[in-house]
Amino acid sequence: YLASGGYKDTTIKNLLQMSSGVKFDEAYFNPDSEIGRFANALILGTEPFRDFAASIKPKVKPGTRFEYQSVNTEVLGLLLEQVTGKPLHELIEEKLWKKIGAENDAFLYRGENQPDECAFGCFNATVRDYGRFGLMALHAGDLNNEHVVSEKWIRESTKPDAAFLEPSTANGNLGYGYQWWVPAGSEGAFMAMGIYGQMIYVNPARHVVIVQTSAWKLPDEHASWAESVALMDAVARAVR
């Protein structure tokens, strides 16, 4: 169902690196933007996510430009469901949550009229369990004597492998791997980051994981991200 739309020439790697080349404006305060339409699909069920993804138009050649777009992660979730034949929440439970020894249940929010599961956000868990996820990444994919993901995947996913993915001032001195953000000059640290200041900071060199939960006034501010990264780098150096 994606064969004829904006995703027809997009690879899985392009999706992982936010370089799909599709037209999708992540302007959170513009109700007429694609993210505004996407939010309506999530909350009100105005259209299935798969129909939304199929309607996306091309913008630039895939694999040539970084542009953070929530819909790319949703397509990755739809892909996982397609190739495994399982709903996303069951995959998360089986492949991740049980293996990291989570203390508490997690859940994926979904509007009651939205038939597709949310992959681009909506994931709710406790701080300690987010920390466990960070420890798994810190230990190159292993935790609690469980092999969760391969060391090769962690290594490849946490390093930009193209010039347009390297940290730049346009992106607040942040680079990008496979769904991980990579701060400039942070000793190989990498981060999971969500709007309004949700973060998992992983610094393998210092053996430090930090989880931050926040409720910023604005969803996405370069100054706030930079301040958080500087703070976490300083903490990591101090507790060495």
Average pLDDT, the chain: 95
Tell me what pLDDT residue 186 has.
Answer: 76
Who wins on pLDDT, 221 or 209?
Answer: 209
Gap between the Cα atoms of 1 and 81, Å rounded: 14
Give the start-end residues of each E strand in the chain: 107-108, 123-124, 142-143, 146-147, 174-176, 181-183, 190-194, 198-203, 208-212
Single-letter amino acid code for the residue at 145: N
Q: Given a cut of 80, is residue 52 above it in pLDDT?
A: yes
Tell me what pLDDT residue 60 has.
Answer: 97
Strand partners, 166: none
Mean pLDDT of 207-229: 93
Q: Given a cut of 90, is residue 185 above it in pLDDT?
A: no
Q: pLDDT grade, residue 172 (50/70/90)?
A: confident
Gap between the Cα atoms of 95 and 180, Å rounded: 19
Q: Given a cut of 80, is residue 240 above it in pLDDT?
A: no
- pTM for the complete prediction? 0.95
